[in-house]
Structure 1
C-alpha cells in the first residue's frame, strides 16, 4: 500500500483548492440506480477516492469497500477490483470542495487515517450525503454519519497533539535522532509538518512499529520510508550499540531535571494520568526505571524556630 504525507494536493494545486472554496451552485449528483456492488482497492487513500469515482460512474452503490488484503468474497459474487488512478483521485478530492468546506473535507482524510473497520463506507456515506444535501452538513449532528466523522476527527486531533508532545528522540552514533511510537491511529502524516518545522536543523526518523513505516527527515525534506521485515518488534528501544555514547547521560540529566522540578506534596496521580495517559509513558525518559537513586538538592537551611526556612546563601554555615 502506498503512503503519502498529504492527501493529493500539494504546492500550487493546494493553494488553488483553498482559494476556490465551495461554490453556491452545486452540480447534479448521479443517481445510483444499478444493483449494489462490492468494491476492492489497494488500501491507499488515493485508491479509495478512485473507488468513489467508480461508484458514480457505474451508478452502483457499495455493499462493501474492502482493501485487497482483507477481501471477503461471497459464493456467487466477487468484489469489483478498482485500480488506483492518481489523476482521477485528485479530481475527486478537488471536486469535494464543491459540496463541503476545507475543514469538512479534511475530516474525511482523518477518518481514513483512523483505521476504523468501516471507514470506507463511512466516508462514502458522508460524501454522498454532502453532495445530495445542497447545503453544508458539517453541523448536522442529527445524522449518525456526521456525528461519527466529527467524533473521529476529535480523537485524531487528540492523538496527534499527544504524539507531538510526548515523542522522545534518542541520538545514534551517526547523528540520527530516532524515535519509535505505537499510536492508536495512523497519525504520522498529521505530525510530519510539526516535526519538520521544529527540528529542521537535525536528521531524524520517527518509526511507527505497529504499521511498519516511518518518517525520515534528511535536513531538506521529509519522506515516507517503508520497512520490509515482518518480524515483530516487542520493544520501543533500539540497540545500545548504535546509540551515541552520551545518550545515557542525556537520559539521566532529563530524569534528574524531572525529579527536581517535581513537588511531592502536590502529587495528584489521577490528574497526572488524565493529562498523560499510561500508554504514553513508554516514550518518556522521565518515566523509565531510574539508574541512579534520586537525591534532593541540599540548598535549604533547616526551619528556624518561630520562622520559615531560609535559602542557603554564600555565607551559609555548613551543616
Structure 2
C-alpha cells in the first residue's frame, strides 16, 4: 500500500504545533522603529516577556502614559526572520502574506490587528484564515482586498515620462504603501530601461538601474509644489509622446457609449492628475472621417467628401 502524500501546508497544519506561551505578566506599551522587521521583533518580545501589549506604536507617534513609559524594542533582523518563518507553523503562506499587506495599509490599528491575528492563530487548533465570524479576521481580510485593488490600479495607471538622460520617471500618490508590492511587476515588465517610480505622499521611490531594483529615499524638506518634473529635464520628444497617447485615447473612445459614472468607478478621479490622457489637450481633437454611413433602406453611402474627390479626378 502506497503512503498518502499530502501538501506541505496540510502536513504543517495537522502536525503538533507548540502552543503560544501564556501572557501572564502585566501588559505593556511597546514602541518600535516603524519597520515591518521592527514589528516582528516586538511580537517576539511580547512572548519573551510574557506581557501582552496595551498598544504597539512607532516611536515617533507613541504617547506615554501618566505613570508608565512605553518600552522600546530594538529591531533585530535575525529575530524578525525567525518570527516570520515561525508563523508558517500556524498560518499558510497566503494568510501570512495578509499580515504584511495589513502593515502596508497604514491602518491606524495595524500593529494591534497583526498581533491579535497572529495570537489567535497560535492559540487555535484549526485554520483561522476563513473564520469571518471573528472581527480581527474580517478586518485583516478587508484590508488585504483593498491593498490588492490598489496594487492592481497602480500597475495599470502608472505613466512614465522620459528624461534627457534616458530615465523613465513616474509620480504616484496611492492611498496605501504599495511600492513594495508593485516592484516585481515593473522590474519584470520594464527590464530593458532605467526607471524611477516616486511615491509623493511617502517621499520615497523605487529605482531600477537595469540590474536591480532599490528603494531610494528623498529628503523631507525638499519643496515639491508641482506633480510634474521640470520640462527642462524631459526628453525633447516627450511632448510628442504625450500628444500621441492622448490622440490614441481619443480615437479608441466611442462617444455614443460614454458612461462617466462607470468610467470613474474603474478609474477613480484621484488618479487623473498623473494620467497623460487626462491632461488638458494642447491640440484640438478631430475624429477620423473614415466611417461609411448607412441609409435606412439602401446601400452603403460613400464616406463624406469621397464623391467630390471622384468628380475632381474625373474632370482632371
Mapped partners of 1:242, 1:161: distance in 2: 30
Say how many residue pairs are matched: 303
**CA spacing shift, 1:309–1:69, aligned 2, 3 Å:** farther
Given the alignment, which residue of 94, 100, 104 partners 2:91?
100
- Correspondences of 1:50-129 after superposition (within 5 Å): 50-129=41-120
Greater Rg over alpha carbons, structure = 2
Q: What is the root-mean-square deviation of aligned Cα atoms in Å?
A: 2.2
Mapped partners of 2:165, 2:11: distance in 1: 46
Mapped partners of 1:317, 1:66: distance in 2: 78
Q: Once the two structures are superposed, what CA deviation does each residue of 1:61-89 show, in whole Å capped at 9, x if it has no partner?
A: 00000101101001211000000000000
Q: 3-state DSSP class of the match of 1:71?
A: coil
Q: Is contact 1:22-1:97 (8 Å) kept?
A: no
Per the normalisation by structure 1, the TM-score is 0.90
1:38 matched to 2:29: yes
Mapped partners of 2:79, 2:67: distance in 1: 30
The equivalent residue for 1:8 is none
The equivalent residue for 1:247 is 238
1:186 matched to 2:167: no
Mapped partners of 1:20, 1:190: distance in 2: 29
Select between 276-285 and 127-136 the one with higher mean Cα deviation: 276-285
Mapped partners of 1:297, 1:317: distance in 2: 20
1:294 matched to 2:285: yes
Given the alignment, which residue of 141, 161, 164 partners 1:173?
164
Given the alignment, which residue of 269, 275, 280 partners 1:284?
275
Given the alignment, which residue of 139, 148, 159 partners 1:157?
148
Given the alignment, which residue of 251, 257, 263 partners 2:248?
257
Q: Is contact 1:126-1:146 (8 Å) kept?
A: yes
**CA spacing shift, 1:175–1:147, aligned 2, 3 Å:** same
Shift of 1:310: 4.2
Q: Is contact 2:99-2:140 (8 Å) kept?
A: yes
Instruction: For structure 2, list consecutive stretches of 5 or more residues without a partner in the other structure.
Output: 1-7
Q: Is contact 2:32-2:42 (8 Å) kept?
A: yes
Select between 256-265 and 139-148 the one with higher mean Cα deviation: 256-265
Shift of 1:28: 1.9
**CA spacing shift, 1:50–1:296, aligned 2, 3 Å:** same
Instruction: For structure 1, list consecutive stretches of 5 or more residues without a partner in the other structure.
Output: 1-16
Higher relative contact order, structure no. (Cα contacts within 8 Å, ≥ 6 residues apart): 1
1:225 matched to 2:216: yes
Shift of 1:211: 0.5
Q: Once the two structures are superposed, what CA deviation does each residue of 1:246-275 show, in whole Å capped at 9, x if it has no partner?
A: 000000000111111111011111111111
The equivalent residue for 2:3 is none
Q: Is contact 1:113-1:187 (8 Å) kept?
A: yes
The equivalent residue for 1:138 is 129
Mapped partners of 1:200, 1:170: distance in 2: 16
Mapped partners of 1:101, 1:212: distance in 2: 33
Shift of 1:308: 3.7
Q: 3-state DSSP class of the match of 1:49?
A: helix
Per the normalisation by structure 2, the TM-score is 0.91
1:317 matched to 2:307: no
